[in-house]
Structure 1
Amino acid sequence: MTAICIDHVSKRYGPPGAPLILGDIELEIPEGQFVALLGSSGCGKTTLLRIVGGLETATSGRVEVAGRDLGTTAASRRRALGDVGFVFQEHNLLPWRSALANVLLPLENRKVPRSERRAIAEAMLEVVGLSAASAKLPHQLSGGMRQRVAIARALSYDPSVLLMDEPFGALDAQTRDNLNLELQRIWLEKQKTVVFVTHSIQEAVFLADRVVVMQAGPGRIVADVPIELERPRGIDVLATPEFARYTGVLREALTHQAATDERGSAA
């Protein structure tokens, strides 16, 4: 089944005639697939993710999540977005609430019975390996631990789609590698549909089943590359010829299109 359908979506800020941020995006993502959106800053990948997550509206085109059109009725939109979890680069944890209480928050907002909430939140903290830190406040946690709490919070209401906007971009390299391994483990266990925004070629190849390359001017898809590396993937896969081949293909897609655009502008 198709989890996400993006049908001729465009986006501009401002009146008609203002420059397009996104231009005629078409993309289908099957249920359970891990897709990385790869591109440099300004190519529209975060804008596209926000449209899929209902945080922005498309100027034209149509988006379906779990078979529900985001642009029809308010009720349909609410039902579709109720099946979506979002993890940002900033963890956005409430500083006065413990790790457990932060994970409880979306369950409270969704009126999950009080008798069930705590067990669900504790189970999600166990999934991300933070059971022992449940009573700690965000300032008592490392950056990587705070992002794991954010992932637990996004998973707490069991969404079928998880949207992740450069969630590890601000972390040091070793913590980022560790969290990539952790995210892969969670994805293999939960089999959610994941759309993961990144500007790191290495991160995209390591995590994804499929890498969608975007370029700016306006934002558009210039390559769609399946990643056929066995899972689970360990850090040692980064040193293999197969991994190098995929990073080379993606780097070529990024640089070739950028060079083409530059020649077109000069002309």
Structure 2
Amino acid sequence: MLEERLQVALEIAQRAGEYALHNQKRITSVDEKKRDTDLVTNVDREVQALITQELKSRFPEDTVWGEESDHPLKDFSSTWVIDPIDGTANFMHGIPFFSVSIAYFEHGSPVIGVIFAPHFKESFYACRGKGAFLNGEPTTVSSVENLNRAIFGTGLPHSEDAWKRIESLYASLLPRCQAIRSLGSAALGVAYVACGRMEGYFQADLSFYDIAAGICIAQEAGALIFDLAGNPWSTESHSLLVLSKNLSEESRSFIAKHLASR
């Protein structure tokens, strides 16, 4: 059944991504959510409705929940978690780094992850125990070992508290690594670690739906996944640290040290 769900999720994600891309210039409403920089468009809601309808028609016994749902999610068993457009700010401004993210949970953990980047026609996906893939080809984390050759992804926090949690890591890591990039889509940032384009990704102040699909893909690709306190990631986490397993112990210890000093 997981394989069937994966194939359906891939089809739906691609259809939803193409819909978002074709309607990028048809934004008719923009609403604020928790803060005035956290926005949702009519296209976000339309994409979520499209995905929800398709999943419910194929798997009526499953729960389907999305970022734009008007109720919290408490049950993570036989549950689909949707982020209809991860990177809404990019989407609104015509920046190509946005994605459709679909995850399927069993017993509290994501066991299927699909991320589709419509501008690039790239599908990242995984099913627990079957490995990670990019457009049908197996993918894995980078072989880079040392910080001076590593690129890290991040999301720049809006809140002062979130900034303080990672300020030390930014200040210490940037002079020692090759680069730090902020793509504006946490889902794509995690997917890029999974396919070896970046060696790590870290972010404070984010929600499970942003990176649920990416967690499954990164795990299958051989990434190490924690929150910023060094605990295993869970749906209760509000931060994320994803590292290639091939980074040296010295490199990983350096990162842990500066997270601990926040």
- TM-score, shorter chain, exceeding 0.5: no
TM-score scaled by length of structure 2: 0.28
TM-score scaled by length of structure 1: 0.28
Where relative contact order (Cα < 8 A, 6+ residues apart) is larger, the structure is 1
